[in-house]
Amino acid sequence: KDPTPYVGGGWLNFRKDGPKEQRALELRKDVLVITSEPFDETCDLVGVVKATLFMQCSAPECDVVARLCIVRAPKKLRWPDLRGWSTGLGPGSSLNLCESLVRVPFAADSSGAPGVKRIDIDV
């Protein structure tokens, strides 16, 4: 009824592709976000990005998007308060580096209950 939209990425619409802000999508109730601790130093990502998920779904099939984002630390901004100016945290950013969409079929087991399925995605 309310499919999760995509923002940016390497899809077929060249006007919308490339790294785009993902924070609005990450706030949706139907989106799972896993974030690591900040890296202590700069690193290079080389090679194929993969995601392994274990999931269960009561629908006959569902679409799964796996996305790797770079999350930039919130910027320190000055916000007014009742005592004058104080330092607060402004919004950071979450930009997609790569992503992949897969349609996953789910079949109920012999008891009629949906089973847990392992999904391996090349992002």
**Structure confidence by residue, pLDDT tens digits, 54-86:** 988 888 888 888 989 888 776 555 555 444 433
Least confident of 15-19, 50-54, 99-103, 116-120: 15-19
Least confident of 85-89, 90-94, 100-104, 106-110: 85-89
* pLDDT confidence of residue 86: 37
Going by C-alpha positions, the residue among 6, 41, 10, 9 that lies closest to residue 25 is 6
pLDDT at residue 102 is higher than 70 = yes
Burial of 67 (0-12, 13-18, 19+ CB in 10 A): buried
118: phi then psi, degrees, rounded to nearest 5: -90, 130
* pLDDT confidence of residue 9: 67
> Does an H or E element contain 26, and which?
helix 23-26
3-state secondary structure of 118: strand
* pLDDT confidence of residue 52: 95
The CA distances from residue 50 to 4, 65, 66, 67, 122, in Å, are 21, 12, 9, 10, 5
Separation of alpha carbons 30 and 4, rounded Å: 8
Predicted model pTM? 0.69
* pLDDT confidence of residue 16: 62
pLDDT at residue 92 is higher than 50 = yes
